[in-house]
């Protein structure tokens, strides 16, 4: 195999990036006599684009097409050729070339590549993983000290105040609260509607009540999320959970209510990212001033950001991660929540943990979730298992559960006609597609874009009412959203946005004569620190009344964004990195919830749709989910296609 020719060939074919080849050329200058090292370097760089932290050499040798994610991207003849090229190199040859290379070490030096077992890393990503493991291990080590601070049955009366209603055991929300009280590192995972926010608010109240019972100062708590959308949604959820908690008449609640924040920051704002720089205001030398950090939507956080976040925490601070382990992983490299929660479904609790929980909560963990050889990490992870949003009779819940198990019963669409719609359409020009966009197919909970646009037309004539009106518009917009798996193609985001805009204009709901028009929804695609807007923030272009010097009012277009303290109005010309979002990718929808969600799937399977993507799209819907798919039979294969990202975090964590 001539590595240099292969690299040129692969770049010409379009699946290897120029960046990957440039990195291989850089390595070749230091290792001119070892083409296998150049090849490994290029593939290691390429895997980052696929979201992998490293290149798994054993998997590459055994299943090259699957490992590189090229099964659907290359023609059959190209697939066969690539398969042959890689199977010709055995694992021993890879190890021999890399272990003797001057540009590779085992982590002890400063070389650009690190070989750890069968995993080859770019050094920067190996270091991120090591930093995360070090910080997590330090917090896991505090387990015994924190447990010793809780005397026998100390939590039982406090939990009795926080959880007034009875029910079938085990109550996983109570168990999560108890476990987190003796942990400096806690993960609470669960699907939509399982009560992650409710649980964490009660946990924060419990920790503050413990402080009061010991006569100690209340804890300084901060809430964070990866994106502006996720932060806004968590803020609403936290406020609602605090209100429900207030109704329980808990002794001392008036004191602790003020110490449970409702404001939520994005991670960039929390860490103090400096515009135009990768330097952070808060880091290992200048830690964040807090006692507890709650991070929502943790599945969206990549290894680089998580490493920075953990290093910026004081050694004594607790961190609580919330998220759905089955959702899509971060856009950038890493699948941290999925890795951390790899045993969450099976519990993996030690008998001692189960006994302690029974004593402190009166709740009993099922025997099948107890393991005499459970890992230390598993004692700090709780999976909430009961959905309050999707009951046993919920079509959305049933569909999401099926997809998660890699199964799909085609009759489910007929079984739940008011919640689920399957539209077999091959083109966006159909009347059925237009009807769906306008009115959600005229069904209960259907919605459509004419719903929010009708609120847009109800603009108040009093300037002081415009903020409330803008909030109503944004709230109405969140009732319906079209999602896509890709940006290109007829069912990609770009084409869908054009077609939907055409449908709405033809119906007289918008007048897109210019780029900016009333009712245009936009998403920020790059952090703008001057405006205080983050990647993922959504705004809507609206006519705003502005007072003139003579006392008159002039209507001019502004873009309204929901922010922590109300509405931010921005001049369109100042928004340099935004895109229309009548349709958005499933990745961009993470951290959001819509009453009616529509997923558009291309007729030809492009390999981009997988179990995690489909599950994430389905669970963005709270009342109705519609699927546009010309060939529904392809979904049987899609739900069996599970993405597992390569990484070694679990191997670096304490047993």
Is residue 93 within 8 Å of residue 100, measured between CB atoms? no
Task: Determine the 3-state secondary structure of 623 from DSSP.
Answer: strand
Task: Determine the 3-state secondary structure of 618 from DSSP.
Answer: helix
Answer yes or no: do 565 and 508 share one domain.
Answer: yes
**pLDDT above 80 for 55:** yes
Alpha-carbon torsion (7, 12, 15, 16), positive or negative:
positive
Is residue 61 within 8 Å of residue 28, measured between CB atoms? no
Kindly state whether residue 159 falls inside one of the protein's structural domains.
no
What's the CA gap between 347 and 475, in Å, rounded?
38
Answer yes or no: do 553 and 581 share one domain.
Answer: yes
Mean pLDDT in the chain? 86
Read off the CATH number of the domain in which 240 is found. 3.40.50.300
Please tell me the total count of domains within the chain: 3
pLDDT on residue 625 = 92
Kindly state whether residue 160 falls inside one of the protein's structural domains.
no
Q: What is the pLDDT of residues 88-109, one digit of tens each?
A: 888 999 999 898 888 899 888 8
Kindly state whether residue 481 falls inside one of the protein's structural domains.
yes
How would you classify the pairing of strands 538-547 and 583-585?
A: unpaired
Q: Alpha carbon 510 to chain centroid distance?
A: 32
Nearest C-alpha neighbor of 505 from the set 434, 441, 598: 434
- Average pLDDT in the 57-72 region? 80
Provide the strand spans (E) within 236-348: 265-266, 292-295, 318-323
Q: Where residue 387 falls among pLDDT bands split at 50, 70, 90?
A: confident
- The pTM of this model reads 0.86
Alpha helices in 551-633 (DSSP H): 586-589, 611-618
Answer yes or no: do 342 and 374 share one domain.
Answer: yes
How would you classify the pairing of strands 265-266 and 221-225?
A: parallel
**pLDDT above 90 for 128:** yes
Question: What single string gives the DSSP state of each residue in 6-67?
Answer: HHHHHHHHTSS-HHHHHHHHHHHHH-TT-HHHHHHHHHHHHHHHTT-SSEEHHHHHH-HHHH
Instruction: Please give the residue that has the higher pLDDT: either 643 or 612.
Output: 612
What's the CA gap between 538 and 356, in Å, rounded?
46
- Average pLDDT in the 216-242 region? 85
- Average pLDDT in the 443-457 region? 82
Which residue range(s) make up the domain with 54?
Answer: 1-126
pLDDT on residue 499 = 93
Answer yes or no: do 102 and 178 share one domain.
Answer: no
Answer yes or no: do 101 and 210 share one domain.
Answer: no
- Average pLDDT in the 419-448 region? 77
**pLDDT above 60 for 298:** yes
Answer yes or no: do 232 and 194 share one domain.
Answer: yes
**pLDDT above 70 for 37:** yes
Question: What single string gives the DSSP state of each residue in 212-254?
Answer: HHTT-PPP-EEEEESSHHHHHHHHHHHHHHHHHHHTT--TTHH
Task: Determine the 3-state secondary structure of 625 from DSSP.
Answer: strand
Q: Where residue 276 falls among pLDDT bands split at 50, 70, 90?
A: low
Least confident of 27-41, 356-370, 433-447: 433-447
Give the end of a domain, one of 387, 417, 443. 387
Give the end of a domain, one of 126, 152, 185. 126
Residue 114: beta bridge partners? 105, 121
pLDDT on residue 428 = 64
CA dist 395 → 142, 391, 425, 480, 623 (Å): 43, 9, 22, 18, 9
Residues in the annotated binding site: 190-197
CA dist 572 → 514, 577, 640 (Å): 12, 11, 44
What's the CA gap between 384 and 301, in Å, rounded?
20
Answer yes or no: do 342 and 379 share one domain.
Answer: yes
Answer yes or no: do 367 and 417 share one domain.
Answer: no
Q: Where residue 470 falls among pLDDT bands split at 50, 70, 90?
A: very high
Least confident of 53-57, 348-352, 430-434, 522-526: 430-434
Kindly state whether residue 142 falls inside one of the protein's structural domains.
no
Answer yes or no: do 359 and 431 share one domain.
Answer: no
Nearest C-alpha neighbor of 624 from the set 402, 426, 441, 404: 441
Read off the CATH number of the domain in which 27 is found. 1.10.10.1020
Answer yes or no: do 421 and 447 share one domain.
Answer: yes
Kindly state whether residue 498 falls inside one of the protein's structural domains.
yes
Task: Determine the 3-state secondary structure of 190 from DSSP.
Answer: strand
pLDDT on residue 565 = 72
Residues in the annotated binding site for ATP: 190-197
Least confident of 577-581, 636-640, 647-651: 636-640
Which two three-digit tokens encode residue 246?
Answer: 């207030």
What's the CA gap between 283 and 272, in Å, rounded?
9
**pLDDT above 80 for 618:** yes
Answer yes or no: do 605 and 465 share one domain.
Answer: yes
Task: Determine the 3-state secondary structure of 501 from DSSP.
Answer: helix
Length of the chain: 655
What's the CA gap between 106 and 117, in Å, rounded?
9
Give the end of a domain, one of 99, 126, 153. 126
Residue 319: beta bridge partners? 185, 293
**pLDDT above 90 for 581:** yes
Least confident of 117-131, 282-296, 464-478, 595-609: 595-609
* Neighbouring residues of 125: CB distance < 8 A, sequence distance ≥ 6: 48, 53, 54, 303, 304, 333
- Average pLDDT in the 297-307 region? 91
Kindly state whether residue 584 falls inside one of the protein's structural domains.
yes
Kindly state whether residue 518 falls inside one of the protein's structural domains.
yes
Kindly state whether residue 149 falls inside one of the protein's structural domains.
no
pLDDT on residue 63 = 82
Provide the strand spans (E) within 453-582: 480-484, 521-524, 538-547, 553-563, 566-570, 578-580
What's the CA gap between 490 and 606, in Å, rounded?
13
Most confident of 490-494, 548-552, 582-586: 582-586
Number of other CB atoms surrounding residue 522 within 10 Å: 21
- Average pLDDT in the 343-364 region? 92
Q: Where residue 392 falls among pLDDT bands split at 50, 70, 90?
A: low
Answer yes or no: do 311 and 335 share one domain.
Answer: yes
- Average pLDDT in the 554-582 region? 89
């Amino acid at each position: 195999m001539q590595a240099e020719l292969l690299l040129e060939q692969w770049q010409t074919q379009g699946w290897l990036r120029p960046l990957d080849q440039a990195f291989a050329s850089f390595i070749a200058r230091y290792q001119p006599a070892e083409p296998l090292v150049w090849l490994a370097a290029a593939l290691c760089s390429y895997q980052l684009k696929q979201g992998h932290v490293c290149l798994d050499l054993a998997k590459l040798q055994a299943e090259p097409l699957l490992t590189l994610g090229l099964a659907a991207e290359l023609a059959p003849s190209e697939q066969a050729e690539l398969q042959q090229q890689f199977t010709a190199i055995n694992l021993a040859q890879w190890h021999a070339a890399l272990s003797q290379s001057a540009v590779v070490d085992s982590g002890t030096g400063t070389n650009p590549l690190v070989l750890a077992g069968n995993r080859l890393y770019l050094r920067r990503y190996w270091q991120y993983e090591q930093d995360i493991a070090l910080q997590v291990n330090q917090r896991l080590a505090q387990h015994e000290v924190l447990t010793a601070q809780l005397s026998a049955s100390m939590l039982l009366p406090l939990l009795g105040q926080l959880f007034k209603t009875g029910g079938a055991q085990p109550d996983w929300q109570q168990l999560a609260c108890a476990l987190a009280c003796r942990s400096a590192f806690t993960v609470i995972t669960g699907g939509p509607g399982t009560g992650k926010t409710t649980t964490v608010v009660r946990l924060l109240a419990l920790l503050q009540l413990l402080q009061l019972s010991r006569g100690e100062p209340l804890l300084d708590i901060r809430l964070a999320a990866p994106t502006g959308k996720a932060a806004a949604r968590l803020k609403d959820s936290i406020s609602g959970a605090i209100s429900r908690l207030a109704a329980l008449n808990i002794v001392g609640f008036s004191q602790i209510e003020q110490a449970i924040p409702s404001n939520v920051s994005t991670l960039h704002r929390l860490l103090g990212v400096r515009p135009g720089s990768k330097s952070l205001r808060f880091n290992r030398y200048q830690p964040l001033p807090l006692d507890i950090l709650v991070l929502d939507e943790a599945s969206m956080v990549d290894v680089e950001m998580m490493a920075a976040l953990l290093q910026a925490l004081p050694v004594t601070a607790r961190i609580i991660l919330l998220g759905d382990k089955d959702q899509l992983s971060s856009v950038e490299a890493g699948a941290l929540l999925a890795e951390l929660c790899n045993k969450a479904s099976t519990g993996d609790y030690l008998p001692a943990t189960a006994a302690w929980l029974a004593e402190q909560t009166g709740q009993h963990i099922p025997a099948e979730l107890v393991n005499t050889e459970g890992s230390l990490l598993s004692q700090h992870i709780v999976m909430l298992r009961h959905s309050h949003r999707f009951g046993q009779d919920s079509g959305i819940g049933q569909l999401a559960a099926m997809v998660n198990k890699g199964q799909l019963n085609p009759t489910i669409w007929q079984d739940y006609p008011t919640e689920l719609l399957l539209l077999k359409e091959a083109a966006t020009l159909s009347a059925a597609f237009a009807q769906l966009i306008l009115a959600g197919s005229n069904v209960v909970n259907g919605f459509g874009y004419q719903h929010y646009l009708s609120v847009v037309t109800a603009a108040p004539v009093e300037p002081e009412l415009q903020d409330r009106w803008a909030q109503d518009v944004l709230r109405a917009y969140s009732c319906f959203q079209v999602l896509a798996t890709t940006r290109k193609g007829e069912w990609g985001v770009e084409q869908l946005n054009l077609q939907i805009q055409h449908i709405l204009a033809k119906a007289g709901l918008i007048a897109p004569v210019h780029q900016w028009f009333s009712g245009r929804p936009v998403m920020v695609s790059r952090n703008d620190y001057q405006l205080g807007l983050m990647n993922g923030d959504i705004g809507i272009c609206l006519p705003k009344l502005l007072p003139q010097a003579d006392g008159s009012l002039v209507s001019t277009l502004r873009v309204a964004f929901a922010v922590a303290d109300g509405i931010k109005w921005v001049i369109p010309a100042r928004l340099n990195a935004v895109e229309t979002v009548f349709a958005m990718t499933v990745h961009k929808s993470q951290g959001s919830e819509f009453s009616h969600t529509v997923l558009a799937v291309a007729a030809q399977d492009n390999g981009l749709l997988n179990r995690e993507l489909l599950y994430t799209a389905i669970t963005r819907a709270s009342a109705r989910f519609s699927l546009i798919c010309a060939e529904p039979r392809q979904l049987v294969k899609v739900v069996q296609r599970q993405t597992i990202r390569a990484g070694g975090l679990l191997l670096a964590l304490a047993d």
